[in-house]
Chain A
Amino acid sequence: MKKYIQPLLPVLTLYIVLLGAGLSIPGLWQPIAFIMFYVVLGQALNMFLGMTGYVDFGYVAFLGLGAYGMALAFSLFTDDGLGSGIIVVGFLMAVIFSILLSMAVGAIALRLRGAYFAIATIGVSEGFKYLIEGARLWGGSEGIIISSQLRDSFGSEMANYLSTFASDILIFAIGILAAILTVYTLHTRAGYALMALREDEDAAKVMGVNVTKYKVMAFGMSAVFAGLIGASAWTLKLTYVFPEDVFNIIYTVEAIVIVMLGGAGTLAGPVVGGLIYGILRYYLATVLPGFQLLVVAPLLVLIVTVFPDGVVGYIKRKLKGSRFSKYVI
């Protein structure tokens, strides 16, 4: 048990501090929720990019499909008398949608090597946007608006509470769940298999690691968390889903930057990366509205060329062998 709890301590402490500060200091809840979105987004992508070293350029599609899963639950089943249970159906649909996509893309592309996989994912999010718009699927380019269904299911007061507060709490919960699952994975056979295939896929294969199996597993896990984030942070919080927004490549870029900045494949990396990035992004939104990527893109290039280990990766290397090393994984 100890080996799981020790590395979780710094991460959970940070969550508690953020949660406490947000709840007790007036005006701080919104910015903290904003930052937490990035922290959890990073954690979700880290499960795939960090663990396998594979990059999915269409990652936002999982958030998008999660958002649609939740929205569809409301637009299809509001009248079925599910009451507030509809939210469970929504999350279930979000999870199913993202798993299905991860299986479809993963089954084909994860048999391939890194570069080919990356190429295969380049069109995924745009492809979905065009499918939804082109086939006028799920409301086409007009999207789905669920504010009235939310009111019908929960009453207007509860609906308001859900979109302004509970959806943010859900993000915290998803983050904690992601952290626990990450620590657990890192300590299992799967964790070692993923480390091996990330470092040297051929060597891993020869040593008996079924690399495709573990890649698909990590991809699916990462997709599920992305779907949950999309369902909470977008559909429940904003009460609408537009294809232009939820398949926007900017979130893929941001998630990658967070993972690389913090340290790919580490537990604390995406948390630290998300924290730094979230604060930077909050600030950028005021000084350079609409041009965040102008700063973020060169940042990404800089990180991968001169600082590929990321903050936590660097600290972890420094601490190797010291008694603090068990707190940073």
Chain B
Amino acid sequence: MVFFEQLAGNLLYGIILGAVYGLATMGLSQIFGVLKIVNVGHGAFIMVGAYVAYWMFVLYSVNPILSIPVALVIGLALGLGIFYIVIRRLIGAPELASLLATFGIGIFIEEVAKFFWGPDHRGFSWNIGQVDFGITLIPNTKLLAFFSSVIIALILYMLFQRTRIGAAIRAVVEDREGAMVCGIDVSRIYAMSFGIGIAMTVIGGILLTLFIPVGINPYMGGEYTLKAFVIAVLGGLGSPWGAFIGGFIFGLLENGSYTILGLIPGVEPFSLTRFVAFSALLVILLVKPTGLMGGE
């Protein structure tokens, strides 16, 4: 059966891409979990990561995996900058304000990118061979992206579970006032969480370039904002680990439905897959708004 082989191949691909999706979403959940702010401009930071990968590769011949530290620094700087200029003022403000502000920030970043780098699609090709899984061929670059995502997620997990700062962040998530009473500098935790959240997103953007050969452009983020929200809600908004698992589920869902939609004559499976993402979000919100993994 050609179809099932194709489906199996696409599902394997879905798992590999899913790890990157998961990493690219953890920041969104992290920021919501700690600051209770929904970063509607999430996708713009993925786009920033993609451009970091592109320019590092094109200008300095540095491959995307080695660009991760660069993305970390840029992401932290960007995150902290935005936190101190805007987000800081919105803690405790009506939800509407933070929704609109992060929306505006995302669009602004996109427009700046367009202003400097133009609206054209860009891409680069980094070829280091591939592995034959029998059902499909997976390029080594994508496998590297997969392992990098898993390792970074694990490092973050250690950071959260084993360090003082991680403990402080967890304390703030559980009980803001209580943490304050215990002498935790809550506003510093907010800043760090926002910075780390954005840095993770930018890193996610770097790794995503290994899956989109010529898809780097200023507006690429919109699609990932949507996907990230599907994933974050799947994982129970606010839980970075839920988001990481949600990434795998979404990767499978997306690539599985792509294969199945391809069977319908006269449709463009690529566009329809994106429609599926949006429908999935509504369905999840309808069935269990707190997420499949989340508790109550």
- A–B contact with Cβ pairs below 8 Å: the answer is yes
B89 on interface, CB distance cutoff 8 Å? yes
Q: Which residues, 116 to 171 on A, are CB-close (under 8 Å) to B?
A: 116, 118-120, 122-124, 126-128, 130-131, 133-136
Question: CA of A280 to CA of B94 in the docked complex: distance in angstroms?
Answer: 28
Question: Footprint of A on B, CB under 8 Å?
Answer: 32, 38, 40, 86, 89-90, 93-97, 99-101, 103-105, 107-108, 110-112, 114-115, 222-223, 225-226, 229-230, 233, 237, 266-275, 277-279, 281-282, 285-286, 289
Instruction: Select B100's contact among A119, A130, A293, A304, beta carbons within 8 Å.
Output: A304
Return chain B residues, CB-CB under 8 Å to A119.
38, 229, 233, 237, 281, 285
Question: CA of A306 to CA of B279 in the docked complex: distance in angstroms?
Answer: 36
At the interface, is chain A mostly helix, strand, loop or mixed?
A: helix
- With contacts A115-B95, A123-B229 taken as known, whether A256 is within 8 angstroms of B100 at the C-beta atoms is yes
Return chain B residues, CB-CB under 8 Å to A322.
none
Instruction: Select A127's contact among B101, B233, B274, beta carbons within 8 Å.
Output: B274
Question: CA of A123 to CA of B277 in the docked complex: distance in angstroms?
Answer: 8
A114 on interface, CB distance cutoff 8 Å? yes
Question: CA of A260 to CA of B99 in the docked complex: distance in angstroms?
Answer: 12
Question: CA of A136 to CA of B264 in the docked complex: distance in angstroms?
Answer: 12
Return chain B residues, CB-CB under 8 Å to A127.
226, 274-275, 277-279
Question: CA of A127 to CA of B272 in the docked complex: distance in angstroms?
Answer: 8
Return chain A residues, CB-CB under 8 Å to B229.
119, 122-123
Sample (12) of A-B pairs whose CB atoms are under 8 Å apart: A53-B94, A109-B282, A118-B99, A122-B229, A123-B278, A126-B223, A130-B275, A134-B272, A253-B107, A293-B110, A299-B104, A301-B101
A105 on interface, CB distance cutoff 8 Å? yes
Report the minimal beta-carbon distance from B48 to chain A, rounded to whole angstroms: 15
- Beyond contacts A294-B108, A299-B104: 20 other A-B pairs, Cβ-Cβ < 8 A, are A55-B96, A108-B285, A109-B285, A112-B285, A115-B95, A115-B237, A120-B282, A123-B226, A126-B274, A134-B268, A134-B269, A134-B275, A136-B266, A136-B268, A297-B107, A297-B108, A298-B104, A304-B97, A305-B97, A305-B101
Question: CA of A167 to CA of B228 in the docked complex: distance in angstroms?
Answer: 40
Question: CA of A230 to CA of B238 in the docked complex: distance in angstroms?
Answer: 37
Do A297 and B95 have beta carbons less than 8 Å apart?
A: no
Report the minimal beta-carbon distance from B96 to chain A, rounded to whole angstroms: 5
Do A123 and B281 have beta carbons less than 8 Å apart?
A: yes
Do B99 and A55 have beta carbons less than 8 Å apart?
A: yes
Question: CA of A255 to CA of B229 in the docked complex: distance in angstroms?
Answer: 23
Q: Which 8 A-B pairs have the closest CB atoms?
A: A134-B271, A127-B278, A123-B278, A134-B272, A300-B104, A297-B108, A297-B107, A301-B104
Do A294 and B112 have beta carbons less than 8 Å apart?
A: yes
Report the minimal beta-carbon distance from B234 to chain A, rounded to whole angstroms: 12
Do A300 and B274 have beta carbons less than 8 Å apart?
A: no
Q: Which residues, 209 to 229 on A, are CB-close (under 8 Å) to B?
A: none
Question: CA of A260 to CA of B94 in the docked complex: distance in angstroms?
Answer: 13
Do A135 and B111 have beta carbons less than 8 Å apart?
A: no
